[in-house]
Amino acid sequence: MSNDIEIPHLDSTTLQNLISYAVSFSAANGLQVQTKSSSTADSNTNSNTYITAPISLLPQSYPSHLFQRGISLSRPLNLLVEKISQDGEFLRETLKDVRTVDEYTGKLLDLYEAIYMKQDGEFARSADRLGILRSDYMLHSTVADGGKDQYELKQVELNTIASSFAGLASTVANLHRFLTQRMDDGGKLNLFLEENHQCVVRDARAENGVGVPESPAMSQLPLAMFLAHERYCQRFVKNDNDATATTRRPVVLFVVQPNETNTVDQRLLEFALWNNHQVPVVRMSLGELYNKAVLDETTGKFMIQSDNGADESSSEEVAVVYFRAGYAPTDYPSGYNAEDGSGIEWLARERLERSRATKCPCLGYHLAGTKKVQQELARPSVVERFFPEDDGDTSARTIRTVFAGLYSLGADATEQDINAVKDVLLNNAQDKYVLKPQREGGGYNYYGKNLADKIRENCTINEQTIELDPSLSEFILMERLFPPQQRAILLRNGQVEGSGMTISELGCFGTILATEDSEIVHNEYGGFLLRTKFSGVDEGGVASGFATLSSPYLC
Ligand code: ADP
Ligand code: MG
Ligand code: MG
């Protein structure tokens, strides 16, 4: 689509000016992604082409009090994940049907059991745990109050591995702050924003828009990694007999995908870690790690061979492992053979997990972020299991308020779950639900007719009873959320992709650091992300090409 489009309140000169500023701001501040063809199998390639990240030209109106609500849930949710990760029985019981039909989740659970529930994972059990989580929300329309929709904050999912866009989202917020403050030529932008403000119920305390907040992500995420790194050095390096003046500073290992295009987002973290804390980063894929990493079986020390030599002096100790890969079956291309344990990427993952390095995330955190766990948590008294005492902010009651309807399609399905299935199959209510497998990264969900077909093909309907095929147990059924629609201008590769009505998803980052004794060393809110996509697009995901990066204009 050309840049010649009609936008209410914005004449074409203003629009062109805004686009031109957005693109140059992006170049000047690394609001960029790599092009597909330029990212190669080598995780450290030099010949890269960078383009403007997919962005929404202007921010979306967001009710201030619901934004604050998302922020305030970060710390309780961090704690929840930490607690779940330590409850092997809960994870095993919750995922027992899933593991029989989904090999990937099954493998994660096998490793978790072997390392954390049996005797052969002593180094892993002694390691600290670092979480960089992102809880995603949509505003969901509830009762129409005198004709005007009311919205509440509902959780879409909780990401516990490779939660991305902390870096780029901070920059988008800076861009949007610049555009709305500096470029508000004669109030035209205000008119545009004002129209969007009408779509949401404003915070009574914020009569006029209060603008785009600053995201603390680029200080908070590196800080959490630094604290984990510090603790590792204090616990292990300072005490090692071989710690001499020549010992190199342990590194933070970024485990990355060979063909990653979202590299700038990762590099922003790497550079901030160095700038703020002088902590070095090494990037490697799981495949490379298989060839270049050694686990010392007597100490649990994890060492990687750097590229510039093969002798001991060129190897580096890993203090913290940060996974930006490993969350999808496709990250393990050599597969998994239970018989002989082959599959080099899984072997590399296992070696990392068994080490004494602090994992972000460890297997327990990773599993706590599965969609099946999310669904189980929504059952009566399950969050309460992890927060037995009602202690205000961290209480189960507070967390529960953001849960949407979640239903099991496994052997544990209750009458209520089956009623949701009946609603889809017998009442034609497929548009009120989303069907989700245990996958991450966007693009896997079923909607509408596909959803109904998928369930119908995998169940037997006898008069009033519905029998679900075991193959459905890797899915959960979720109430579909309907956020307010707002006008936006979406850019891809610096060009207008289109303008029209859009919906948005808020992400709130949280960071947590826990010790082997479950002492909480650090637990903080860590910044935000807003993703915006055209209303007609079911799926989300910026990297997967469905959504764009935006920011909330609080009002
Ligand atoms: P993933 O881990 O793949 O990101 P999500 O649960 O976030 O899985 O689903 C992907 C996208 O699908 C979301 O970003 C959102 O756009 C859409 N989506 C997921 N759940 C719902 C829901 N309950 N209602 C409406 N849209 C949803
Ligand atoms: Mg996810
Ligand atoms: Mg998601």
Say whether 246 sits in a helix, a strand or coil: coil
The encoded tokens of residue 185 equal 């030529």
Mean pLDDT of 264-274: 98
pLDDT score of 306: 72
Same domain for 449 and 351? Answer: no
Report the range of poorest mean pLDDT among 350-354, 355-359, 541-545. 541-545
- Show Cβ contacts of residue 97 under 8 Å, excluding neighbours closer than 6 positions: 410, 411, 412, 470, 473
Q: Identify which ligand lies nearest to the alpha carbon of 434.
A: 1
DSSP 488-514: EEEEETTEEEEEEEEEEEEEEEEEEEE
Nearest atom within ligand 1 for CA of residue 481 = 24
pLDDT above 70: residue 207: no
pLDDT score of 203: 67
The encoded tokens of residue 322 equal 């940060």
Q: How many domains does the chain have?
A: 2
- Domain end marker among 447, 479, 511: 479
Same domain for 97 and 144? Answer: yes
pLDDT score of 539: 77
The encoded tokens of residue 346 equal 């899984």
pLDDT score of 40: 55
How far does residue 539's CA lie from ligand 1's centre (Å)?
6
Q: Do residues 532 and 548 lie in contact, with contact meaning Cβ atoms separated by under 8 Å?
A: yes
pLDDT band of residue 42 (cuts 50, 70, 90) is low
Q: Residue 436's domain spans which residues? A: 405-479
- Domain end marker among 479, 512, 542: 479
Kindly report the backbone phi and psi dihedral angles of residue 512, in degrees, each rounded to the nearest multiple of 5, phi listed first: -145, 140
pLDDT above 50: residue 111: yes
pLDDT score of 316: 96
pLDDT score of 24: 97
Same domain for 455 and 496? Answer: no
pLDDT above 90: residue 247: no
- pLDDT, one tens digit per residue, over 141-160 is 886 556 567 899 999 999 99
The ipTM (two decimal places) reads 1.00
Q: Which residues pair with 505 in a beta bridge?
A: 531
Q: Identify which ligand lies nearest to the alpha carbon of 544.
A: 1
Q: Identify which ligand lies nearest to the alpha carbon of 442.
A: 1
The encoded tokens of residue 186 equal 């004669």
How far does residue 81's CA lie from ligand 3's centre (Å)?
17
| Residue linked to tokens 């009623």 | 419
Residue at 47 is within a domain: yes
| Residue linked to tokens 């990653």 | 260
Task: List pocket residues of ligand 1, CB cut-off 6 Å.
Answer: 136, 156-157, 404, 434, 436, 439-442, 444-445, 478-481, 505, 539-541
pLDDT score of 240: 59
Nearest CA to ligand 1 atom 22: 480
Same domain for 190 and 152? Answer: yes
- CATH number of domain containing 410: 3.30.1490.50
CA distance 59 to 489: 10
Same domain for 340 and 466? Answer: no
Mutate to test the pocket of ligand 1, among 436, 447, 502, 546 (most ligand atoms within 8 A of CB): 436
Mean pLDDT of 463-484: 95
Mean pLDDT of 392-421: 92
Report the range of poorest mean pLDDT among 13-27, 244-258, 420-434, 465-479. 244-258
Same domain for 324 and 422? Answer: no
DSSP state of 362: -
Same domain for 469 and 487? Answer: no
Nearest to 139 by CA among 502, 537, 509: 502
- Domain end marker among 479, 511, 536: 479
How far does residue 182's CA lie from ligand 3's centre (Å)?
33
pLDDT above 60: residue 41: no
Same domain for 460 and 541? Answer: no
Which helix (H) or strand (E) covers residue 532, if one does?
strand 520-534
Comparing 541 with 195, which gets the higher pLDDT?
195
pLDDT above 50: residue 312: yes
Nearest atom within ligand 1 for CA of residue 478 = 23
CA distance 192 to 169: 22
Nearest CA to ligand 1 atom 14: 540
Residue at 452 is within a domain: yes
pLDDT score of 1: 47
Nearest to 473 by CA among 372, 545, 333, 379: 372
pLDDT above 90: residue 423: yes
pLDDT score of 338: 65
Nearest CA to ligand 1 atom 9: 442
pLDDT band of residue 59 (cuts 50, 70, 90) is very high
Nearest atom within ligand 1 for CA of residue 433 = 23
Residue at 393 is within a domain: no
Mean confidence (pLDDT) of the chain? 91
Same domain for 150 and 227? Answer: yes
Same domain for 410 and 262? Answer: no
Mean pLDDT of 24-36: 96
Q: Give CA angle at 318 (315, 323), nearest 5°.
A: 125
Q: What is the 3-state secondary structure (H, E, C) of 418-481?
A: HHHHHHHHHCCCHHHEEEEECCCCCCCCECHHHHHHHHHHCEEEECCEEEECHHHHHEEEEECC
How far does residue 157's CA lie from ligand 2's centre (Å)?
6
Residues annotated in the binding site for substrate, as ranges?
Answer: 266, 531
Comparing 208 with 254, which gets the higher pLDDT?
254
pLDDT above 90: residue 174: yes
CA distance 11 to 152: 34
Nearest atom within ligand 1 for CA of residue 533 = 16
Same domain for 328 and 414? Answer: no
Question: Is the preceding peptide bond at 361 cis, omega within 30 degrees of 0?
Answer: yes
- Pairing between strand 433-437 and 486-492? unpaired
Taking residue 351's Cβ as centre, other Cβ atoms within 10 Å add up to 16
pLDDT above 60: residue 309: no
C-alpha pair distances (Å), 503 with each of 196, 200, 429, 496, 538: 11, 12, 21, 17, 10
Say whether 319 sits in a helix, a strand or coil: strand
Same domain for 419 and 498? Answer: no
